[in-house]
């Protein structure tokens, strides 16, 4: 491995107080190079500095040589000294055409930066000092204008490929970098490695590319995948895989924190949090949509959206592929759906303590029942009703054919309470007792899975008419009794 030498810059001759053993310093005023060799500061190359001479063909260098290597007439080789001493220096600068006709620096038995390979100079407008540190030749690149404040690396094109300025800013395609690393490329609407401004590639061709698009709204992107051909494979992109929070638009509180404007909740134990801090109508904390979702799948099942004030939250609706909107609120212990609100183009349903659709009912309740202090009111105004007909049937016979039962619900019913006894009827027996009357469909209904239910309040008119029929029989019997009494 090459030995590392620390390079310092200054405008005066260095001393042992500011140049320790092994360090190299450049006096930019005198244009001289110095090394601390075992506690003694020595000028590298000897008195008077380096005198440069033009070379256009093969040449064997000596310690202290300054060489202007002009390869415009063809490539050639510069051979380093055969037996260098610590502190020896050979300085080589581009005279012309290194990028076109390369100049080879032959190591001549030594190593260069610890490598047993010759050095090929193929970048124009560059200069370098080779300093022997006792074990290998160390390289110190510089511009052909010795010790200039900006170094440019020419790609043999009309513009400089890489710029390193005096503030240690690096520009790629950028001649005046302001950031520590500035990459200036082009924009293209097609996401591809050839159109990206930066590519980071690992083994096997997988990596990420960074780019900008050319058309409005001029988006920037990061894409992970098989970078040379994204159509073959795209891969997951991880942020902080070893831990740490990610914030978009704010300093994060949750593992993933997306927010705009004022942070109404500045702390808490969140995994993910999305805030919309706008009070405008229609603004929600989160909107997730997939136009191709299956009819039975929901994209987002449970969420609470920030309403933009300190008063509280409101639910966020979810949308499936057929335009169905749905809100699900889960029990924190069992994770069972407590409330499921479904809105479709044909109507809306609220299901409490259950997911099964029992039919076209706006409110469906499983569990222990429905409680209330007020009355349950049905609309009954004559102006709302058509096809009004007097009930014409032998309702007393229907009542006599009904079997009153007690029962408990089983697991197939979807009920939560399977132990409490209930009173009622069997829907199939009610159908049999009532016959094929047209109003039967309002009394006994069937859900999409074929299970039957009853509207018990629909029995009230039948019971009322049965009582009337029974009362008529009582009155006839009373008349017969009175007649028999009179006969006696």
Per-residue pLDDT, averaged over 129-155, amounts to: 67
Q: What is the pLDDT of residue 173?
A: 82
Per-residue pLDDT, averaged over 482-486, amounts to: 87
Q: Are 142 and 129 in contact (CB under 8 A)?
A: yes
Instruction: Indicate the pLDDT class of residue 263, thresholds 50, 70 and 90.
Output: low
Q: Tokens representing 377? A: 């009111």
Question: 7-148: what fold?
Answer: Jelly Rolls (2.60.120)
**Does the pLDDT value for residue 36 go beyond 70?**
yes
Tell me how far CA of residue 465 lies from CA of 389, 396, 461, 468, in angstroms.
Answer: 13, 8, 6, 5
Total residues belonging to the chain: 488
Contacts of 113 (CB under 8 A, 6+ apart): 2, 136, 137, 138, 139
List, for residues 215-235, the tens digit of each pLDDT value.
988 889 999 999 888 888 888
Q: Tokens representing 200? A: 């980071």
List, in sequence order, every residue forming a beta bridge with 326; answer none if it has no partner: 318, 342
**Does the pLDDT value for residue 109 go beyond 50?**
yes
Instruction: Indicate the pLDDT class of residue 470, thresholds 50, 70 and 90.
Output: very high
Q: What is the pLDDT of residue 417?
A: 82
CA end-to-end span of the chain, whole Å? 139
Give backbone dihedrals phi and psi of 436, rounded to 5 degrees, phi first.
-105, 35
- Three-state secondary structure along the chain? CCCCCCEEEECCCCCCCCCCCCCEEEECCCCEEEEEECCEEEECCCCCCCCEEEECCCEECCCCCEEEEECCCCCEEEECCCCCCCCCEEEEEEEECCCCCCEEEECCCCCECCECCCEEECCCCEEEEEEECCCCEEEEEEECCCCCCCEEEECCCCCEEEEECCCCCEEECCCCCCCCEEECCCCCCCCCHHHCCEEEECHHHEEEEEEECCCCCCCEEEEEEECCCCCCCECCCCCCCCCCCEEECCCCCCCEEECCCCCCCCCCCCCEEECCCCCCCCCCCCCCCCCCCCCCCCCCCCCEEECCCCCCEEECCEECCCCCEEEEEECCCCCCEEEEEEEECCEEEEEECCCCCCCCCCEEECCCCCCCCCCCCCCCCHHHCCCCCCCCCCHHHHHHHCCCEEECCCHHHCCCCCCCCEEECCHHHHHHHHCCCCCHHHHEEECCCCCEEECHHHHHHHHHHHHHHHHHHHHHHHHHHHHHHHHC
Q: Is 194 left (phi over 0), alpha (psi -120 to 50) or beta?
A: alpha
In this predicted model, which residue has the larger pLDDT, 321 or 482?
482
Per-residue pLDDT, averaged over 449-475, amounts to: 91
Of 4, 24, 3, nearest in space to 14 by CA: 24
List, in sequence order, every residue forming a beta bridge with 14; answer none if it has no partner: none
Q: What is the pLDDT of residue 347?
A: 63
List, for residues 46-81, the tens digit of each pLDDT value.
444 577 788 999 999 999 898 988 898 999 999 999
Q: What is the pLDDT of residue 478?
A: 92
Calpha distance 31→74 (Å, rounded): 30
Least confident of 5-9, 98-102, 154-158: 154-158
- Name all contacts of 372-378 with Cβ < 8 Å and 24+ positions apart: 378/457
**Does the pLDDT value for residue 305 go beyond 50?**
no
Give start-end residues of each CATH 2.60.120.640 domain in the chain: 7-148
Q: What is the pLDDT of residue 93?
A: 85
Q: What is the pLDDT of residue 269?
A: 55
Q: What is the pLDDT of residue 85?
A: 93
Residue holding tokens 């200069």?
Answer: 127
Q: What is the pLDDT of residue 306?
A: 39
């Amino acid at each position: 491995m090459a030995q590392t030498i620390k390079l310092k810059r200054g405008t005066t001759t260095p001393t042992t107080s500011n140049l320790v053993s092994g360090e190299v310093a450049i006096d930019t005023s005198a244009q001289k190079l110095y090394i601390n060799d075992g506690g003694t500061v020595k000028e590298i190359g000897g008195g008077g500095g380096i005198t440069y001479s033009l070379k256009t063909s093969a040449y064997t260098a000596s310690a202290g040589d300054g060489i202007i290597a002009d390869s415009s007439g063809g490539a050639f080789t510069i051979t380093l000294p055969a037996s260098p001493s610590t502190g020896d220096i050979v300085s080589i600068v581009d005279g012309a055409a290194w990028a076109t006709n390369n100049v080879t620096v032959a190591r001549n038995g030594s190593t260069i930066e610890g490598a047993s390979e010759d050095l090929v100079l193929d970048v124009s407008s560059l200069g370098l000092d080779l300093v022997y540190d006792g074990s290998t030749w160390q390289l110190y690149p510089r511009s052909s204008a010795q010790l200039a404040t900006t170094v440019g690396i020419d790609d043999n094109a009309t513009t400089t490929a890489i710029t390193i300025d005096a503030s240690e800013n690096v520009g790629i395609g950028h001649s005046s970098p302001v950031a520590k690393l500035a990459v200036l490329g082009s924009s293209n609407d097609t996401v591809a490695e050839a159109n990206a401004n930066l590519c980071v590639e690992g083994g096997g061709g997988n990596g990420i590319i960074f780019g900008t698009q050319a058309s409005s709204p001029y988006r920037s992107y990061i894409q992970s995948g098989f970078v040379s051909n994204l159509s073959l494979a795209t891969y997951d992109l991880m942020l902080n895989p070893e831990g740490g929070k990610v914030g978009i638009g704010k300093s994060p509180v949750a593992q993933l924190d997306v927010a705009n404007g004022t942070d109404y909740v500045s702390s808490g134990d969140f995994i993910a949090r999305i805030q919309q801090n706008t009070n405008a109508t229609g603004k929600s904390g989160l909107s997730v949509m997939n136009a191709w979702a299956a009819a039975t799948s929901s994209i987002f099942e449970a969420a609470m959206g920030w309403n933009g004030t300190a008063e509280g939250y409101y639910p966020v609706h979810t949308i499936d592929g057929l335009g169905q909107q749905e809100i699900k609120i889960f029990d924190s212990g069992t994770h069972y759906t407590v409330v499921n609100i479904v809105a479709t183009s044909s109507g809306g349903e609220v299901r409490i303590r259950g997911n099964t659709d029992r039919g076209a009912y706006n409110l469906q309740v499983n569990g222990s029942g429905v409680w209330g202090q007020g009355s349950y009111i049905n609309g009954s105004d004559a102006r709302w009703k058509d096809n009004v007909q007097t009930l014409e049937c032998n309702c007393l016979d229907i009542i006599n054919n009904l079997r009153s039962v007690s029962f408990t619900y089983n697991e197939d019913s979807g009920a939560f309470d399977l132990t409490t006894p209930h009173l009622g009827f069997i829907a199939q027996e009610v159908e049999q007792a009532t016959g094929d009357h047209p109003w039967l469909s309002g009394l006994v209904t069937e859900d999409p899975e074929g299970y039957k239910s009853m509207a018990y309040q629909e029995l009230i008119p039948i019971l009322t008419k049965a009582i009337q029929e029974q009362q008529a029989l009582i009155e006839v019997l009373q008349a017969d009794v009175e007649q028999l009494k009179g006969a006696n």
